[in-house]
Structure 1
Amino acid sequence: MASMPTVTDVALAAGVSRQTVSNVMNSPGIVRADTRERVQAAIAQLGYRPHASARRLRTRRSSTIGIRLDPMIDGISGSVLDRFLHALTEQADKQGLRVLLFTATSPEDEITQLQRLNDGADVDGFVLTSTFAGDPRTKWLIENGISFVTFGRPWGTNDMNDPQHLWVDVDGWAGLHEATRAAQDAGARRIGYIGWPSPSGTGEDRRRGWRDAMLERGNVTDDDLALLEVVCEDGVAQGTAAMQELRRTAGTLDAVLCASDSLALGAMIANPERVPVTGYDNTPVAAAIGLSSVDQSVDEVAAGVLELLTGEFSGNVQGAPESDEPRHRMVKPRLVVREFAAIPMDVPGRASV
């Protein structure tokens, strides 16, 4: 009996990547029309069944994926995880899978919940978010041979190619690099940056994108960059205070980039000179107030997570056959440019923020 066609077969026939095939099946709106038609034609020609890749997960126990419902931070930047959860649930449903939400107060408490759900056969695998260096959750899952994929790389010494860790992440370096390049191409030279304090793998990744683009252009020094950067905790009030400090220490500013939309909103408030500000996350707030922002493409992230969780590795590399298939997916974000409008603090006749 001839073997059933696989995602790899479809990708080869259509001349695209496995990720593109997954996107066509789960998030067709993010794929160019001509590419989508080519993939769909290959699916029809080969007789590929889109749900076949999920069968391995579905036939184990419960056809259910567990994921922690992250706490809201300030209602702005935290919304990216809400959007990811919505995309994951919608795409999982198309593959006959369910998503089970649970809460936890700490990484240690989350491990307790992971063990409870696994022991009770309530889920077949887990999706973890908000990863960090030395994350005890992933260590516990690997040691216990439990299927999982993370939204976020391991942030360790081998974080790009950890053979035991399946992950999908957004390339924060590329996002801030593109945003910096766009500001430079618009004529900006002195571009400030408001980011998060260390340690923060995500924050440092984004900061490097800004820093590398600034140094590549060759018209600033390391001393200049030190003056052009302020770090603070995430939040609107913190962004306002950081922008005030940046204006005091950096001198003339042509543009300001921020590690989140929360910080960018705060920077817009303390900005009487109306210096263009760009955020990160492309939240609904950014769209509502005309803030340029880097979009994390959560539909692509969700598609990649499900492909790793239901495909060749089934979320677990222990005992998996030798394969050249990559064990992670790096999603490139995109810059969404909007017409900038500052929100100054001190406007005659207007109440202070």
Structure 2
Amino acid sequence: MSHMPTVDDVARVALVSRQTVSNVINSPEVVRPETRARVEDAIAQLGYRPNASARRLRSQKSSTIGIRLSPMSDGISGSVLDQFLHALTEGAHTRGIRVLLFTADDDAAELEQIKRLRDDRDCDAFVLTSTWHGDARTRTLLDEKIPFVTFGRPWGDDDMNDPQHHWVDVDGRAGVRAAAEHLTAGGRRRISYLGWPSPSSTGDDRRSGWGDAMREAGISDVELDDLVILAAEDVSAARAAVASYLDAHDDVDGIVCASDSLALGAIMAASAAGRDEIPVTGFDNTPVARAVGLTSVEQRLGLVAEGVLDLLLGATGSDIALGAPIPGEAHRLVTPELVVRRSLGLVGDDAPAG
């Protein structure tokens, strides 16, 4: 068939009327199962795709997901949300859903944009990113009955066992634990954790993974407290903090970091102190990590985007239909992957680079 298949083509192949094909597409429950199966087979055989614009007009839905475009970030880890956005857009396209980007200076402006886009029927649902403990955006959208999913867990009462909204997140605790276990398996014992000052929901979660691995290796809580290094999310701040720490602690034989930015600062400090043998691990597996050969935790953002779309649309759906949040079904917790590279003090490590 040289032209794009039409409803009439599907009707001819399935030996049904044009209206029956329309019913299968828009109101399948009114069509007898055997007839519906015949029409669906014809649709698959011809590769027919319903006209999205016409479907939107009929359903009074935009088939569009809205998401705020985060401000430009100079941080090494700023590429994470960009990767997620690309994965979400690509995944939505395969399901016939559009992604609309909008900007906002702060959370209050983001909420105003969301309400306007909802009221104008420009978007059917929204994705929120960068959630934090006490995030007022989620409560507002719940009160306004605006469908949404967050990339990031609630970090509060609205959680796995008592969900009030749908969310997808990466299990940072498991990722950092894997990084620490990689070092303890190599015979390292005095492994420091370089992370952000508390309170930091994401940072505290990642730190707990390091603590799990260290306790498993026989390190006491008193020793753990002495192994913690804190710094802001900045290469220079991390370098200064690690340099100061190494001046007073000559027994450190590994550093697990909460981000690749912190890890790069740690590498610089260790090198300047003549301690190139100290293995350093990062988190986010950014392009910088790949470029310098840093062992890092890959968040698997493709799976995060897939989880967001599954919650919004259903595993095979192409229409936004977010149900009530049910314990055990309202969230997806993606297990990250440790990417081991041969570099930066990992002497004798035979893992392939890259």
Q: Give yes or no for TM over 0.5.
A: yes
Structure 1: give runs of 5+ residues left out of the alignment: 6-43, 343-353
Does the Cα contact within 8 Å between 1:190 and 1:253 map onto a contact in 2?
Answer: yes
Q: In structure 2, what is the equivalent of residue 2 of structure 1?
A: 33
1:144-293 → structure 2 map (5 Å cutoff): 144-218=144-218, 220-272=219-271, 273-274=275-276, 275-293=278-296
CA–CA separation in structure 2 for the residues paired with 1:267 and 1:134: 31
Q: In the superposition, relative to structure 1, how do residues 3 and 304 fare at CA in structure 2: closer, same or farther (>3 Å)?
A: farther
Q: In structure 1, what is the equivalent of residue 86 of structure 2?
A: 86
CA–CA separation in structure 1 for the residues paired with 2:312 and 2:71: 24
CA apart distance, 1:310? 1.0
Does the Cα contact within 8 Å between 2:158 and 2:165 map onto a contact in 1?
Answer: no
CA–CA separation in structure 2 for the residues paired with 1:314 and 1:288: 39
CA–CA separation in structure 2 for the residues paired with 1:334 and 1:324: 26
Is 1:335 matched up with 2:338? yes
| Paired letter, 2:196 | W
Deviations 1:35-63 (A, max 9, x none): xxxxxxxxx9xx8x9x99x9xx9745111
Q: In the superposition, relative to structure 1, how do residues 94 and 228 fare at CA in structure 2: closer, same or farther (>3 Å)?
A: same
Q: In structure 2, what is the equivalent of residue 74 of structure 1?
A: 74
TM-score (normalised: structure 2): 0.77
| Paired letter, 1:289 | V
Deviations 1:213-244 (A, max 9, x none): 101221x2222111211112101111111211
RMSD: 2.7
Please identify the structure whose Cα radius of gyration is greater.
Answer: 2
CA–CA separation in structure 2 for the residues paired with 1:4 and 1:153: 44
Which 4+ residue blocks in structure 1 deviate beyond 4 angstroms? 57-60, 312-315
Does the Cα contact within 8 Å between 1:263 and 1:279 map onto a contact in 2?
Answer: yes
TM-score (normalised: structure 1): 0.77
Q: In the superposition, relative to structure 1, how do residues 123 and 86 fare at CA in structure 2: closer, same or farther (>3 Å)?
A: same
Q: In structure 2, what is the equivalent of residue 139 of structure 1?
A: 139
| Residue aligned with 1:192, SS | strand
Q: In structure 2, what is the equivalent of residue 351 of structure 1?
A: none
| Paired letter, 1:135 | D
| Residue aligned with 2:77, SS | coil
| Paired letter, 2:239 | T
Q: In the superposition, relative to structure 1, how do residues 171 and 234 fare at CA in structure 2: closer, same or farther (>3 Å)?
A: same
Does the Cα contact within 8 Å between 2:160 and 2:328 map onto a contact in 1?
Answer: no
CA–CA separation in structure 2 for the residues paired with 1:261 and 1:151: 20
CA apart distance, 1:324? 7.4
- Higher deviation after alignment, 309-318 or 183-192: 309-318
Q: In the superposition, relative to structure 1, how do residues 67 and 185 fare at CA in structure 2: closer, same or farther (>3 Å)?
A: same
CA apart distance, 1:70? 1.2
CA–CA separation in structure 2 for the residues paired with 1:277 and 1:170: 21
CA–CA separation in structure 1 for the residues paired with 2:162 and 2:71: 28
Q: In structure 1, what is the equivalent of residue 4 of structure 2?
A: none
Structure 2: give runs of 5+ residues left out of the alignment: 1-31, 346-354
Q: In structure 2, what is the equivalent of residue 105 of structure 1?
A: 105
- Higher deviation after alignment, 264-273 or 294-303: 264-273
Q: In structure 1, what is the equivalent of residue 15 of structure 2?
A: none
Deviations 1:111-159 (A, max 9, x none): 1111111111111100110001111111111111111101000010242
Q: In structure 2, what is the equivalent of residue 122 of structure 1?
A: 122
Equivalent in 302, 307, 310 of residue 307 of structure 1: 310
Does the Cα contact within 8 Å between 1:164 and 1:317 map onto a contact in 2?
Answer: no
CA–CA separation in structure 1 for the residues paired with 2:65 and 2:220: 49
CA–CA separation in structure 2 for the residues paired with 1:4 and 1:76: 55
Q: In structure 2, what is the equivalent of residue 20 of structure 1?
A: none
Deviations 1:61-120 (A, max 9, x none): 111110011123324101011000000001111111111111112111111111111111
CA–CA separation in structure 2 for the residues paired with 1:4 and 1:169: 41
| Residue aligned with 2:92, SS | helix
Is 1:297 matched up with 2:300? yes
CA–CA separation in structure 1 for the residues paired with 2:214 and 2:74: 30
| Residue aligned with 1:339, SS | coil
| Paired letter, 1:300 | L
CA–CA separation in structure 1 for the residues paired with 2:133 and 2:33: 45
